[in-house]
Structure 1
Amino acid sequence: MAQDLRDLLRNEQNDSHKKMNDGHESRFLKKLDDALPEESSIKKRYSVLQLAASIIVLLGLAYGAYMFFQPEENIGNKVVNNNPDSIQEDQLKSLGDISPDLKKVEDYYLANINLELSKIKQTKENKELFDGYVLRLAELNQEYKRLTVELTENGPNELTVSALIDNLKLRLNLLYRLKEQLNDLNASEDSKKIS
C-alpha cells in the first residue's frame, strides 16, 4: 500500500492539465448568485442607518451649542432671581424632596411649631411680649423661604440642608421660650392677685 510520493506528484501534474466542461464556471456562478443574498439590500440598510445616525449627531450638536450659548440667567425659560417671591410656591423644593428622612424631620418641627403656636393664648398683658416673638418668627420664616429658594436653585448641599434644619429648631426653641415667659408672666400675675 505504500506509494512513492514522487510518483503521486507526477501523476497529479499530468491530471491537472485536463480542462473543465464548457459552461461549468458560468453554471457555478449562477448557482452562487442564487444561493447568496444580494449585497445591495445590505448596503441600503447601512446607508439608511448611517443617515439616521448623522441626523441624531447633528441634532445633539445643535442642542449642545444652543445650551452653551444660552445666557446663564435664562435656564429653561425661567429667569433665575434671588428674590424669594419670584419663584412660585409649587416650584420650591423642601427637605422632603431630598429624602424621606429629612421629610420626617421637617414635618416633626413644623407640626411642633404649629402645635405650640396654637397653645399660646394672647392677652392684653402679654401682647407686647407676644408681638416681639411673632416679629422674630416672621424673620425666621422669611429666612426659611430664602433658604428653600436657594435649595431649589442650587440643589441640595450640606450647608443649605443644615441651615434649614437649624432654622426650624430655632423657631421651635423660640416658641418654647415664649411659652416659658408667658407662664412666668402668668405666675407673677397670679401671685399679685393672691397677695
Structure 2
Amino acid sequence: MAQDIRDLIKNHQNQSNEQMSKGHEARFLNKLDRALPEKRSSKSLPWMRIAASVVILLGMSFGAFKYFESSQTVTKPTITNVETTKSLGDVSPDLKKVEDYYMATINYELSKVKPTPENKELIDGYIKKLEELNKEYKRLSKEITEKGPNELTVNALITNLKLRLNLLYRLKEQLNTLQETETNVL
C-alpha cells in the first residue's frame, strides 16, 4: 500500500481550504504574551551600557597593546656577553666522568682543609698555586672551544686536574707533618 508522497501533498492542498476560527490569532498572541512577557529596556540605567562599553574598549586596547609589545620584543636581537667554553665533558662522555671525578675529589679535599693561624701561610701558598692551575685550565678550555678538541689539549686538561689533586694531597701531608711536629714540641 505504498503511496506516492507527491500525490498525498497535492490531495492535502486541495482539501486544506479550512480556515481558523475567528479570534484564534488574537487569543494565541495573548497567551504568548502571558507566557513570554516582552522585556522592557530599563531607561533608568543607561550609564551601565556606557560603562560596559568603556570596559570592553579598555580591555581590547590593553590586549592589543600587550600583543604588539610582545611581537616587538621577539624581533629585537638580544646581545649577551656570556662567553661559553667547552670542557672535557663536551668532548666525550667518558672524559666527562674523568673530569667529574677529579673535580669532586679536588672539592672534597679542599673542604677538609681547615686553616688555622699556624698553617695559614702554608695554605695560602698552595691556594695561590691552585688558582694558577685553575687559570691554566680555563685557558685550555677556551682553546678547545676556539680550535676544537685535540689530543694534546685534552691530555693537558687531564694533567692539570691531576696536578691540582696531587697538590692538595701534598698540602694535606704537610699539614699532617706540621701538626705532628707541633704536638711533639708540646
Q: SS of 1:103's equivalent? A: helix
CA offset at residue 110 of structure 1?
0.2
Aligned-partner Cα distance in 2 for 1:169–1:92: 20
Q: Report how many residues are paired.
A: 107
1:172 paired residue number: 165
1:126 paired residue number: 119
Paired residues of 1:110 and 1:168 also in contact (CA < 8 A):
yes
Q: SS of 1:121's equivalent? A: coil
Does residue 146 in structure 1 map to residue 139 in structure 2?
yes
Change (3 A) 1:102 1:149: same
For residues 21-78 of structure 1, the C-alpha deviation after alignment (integer angstroms, 9 at most, x for no partner) is: xxxxxxxxxxxxxxxxxxxxxxxxxxxxxxxxxxxxxxxxxxxxxxxxxxxxxxxxxx
For residues 98-119 of structure 1, the C-alpha deviation after alignment (integer angstroms, 9 at most, x for no partner) is: 1110000000000000000000
Q: SS of 2:118's equivalent? A: coil
Q: Pairwise mapping of residues 14-29 of structure 1 onto structure 2 (< 5 A)?
A: none
Aligned-partner Cα distance in 1 for 2:130–2:112: 16
Q: Any unmatched runs of 5+ in structure 2?
A: 1-80
* Superposition TM-score, scaled by structure 2 size: 0.56
Aligned-partner Cα distance in 1 for 2:89–2:184: 46
Aligned-partner Cα distance in 2 for 1:172–1:144: 13
Q: SS of 2:114's equivalent? A: coil
Does residue 158 in structure 1 map to residue 143 in structure 2?
no
Q: Any unmatched runs of 5+ in structure 1?
A: 1-85
CA RMSD of aligned residues (A): 1.4
Q: Pairwise mapping of residues 2-81 of structure 1 onto structure 2 (< 5 A)?
A: none
Q: Pairwise mapping of residues 108-127 of structure 1 onto structure 2 (< 5 A)?
A: 108-127=101-120
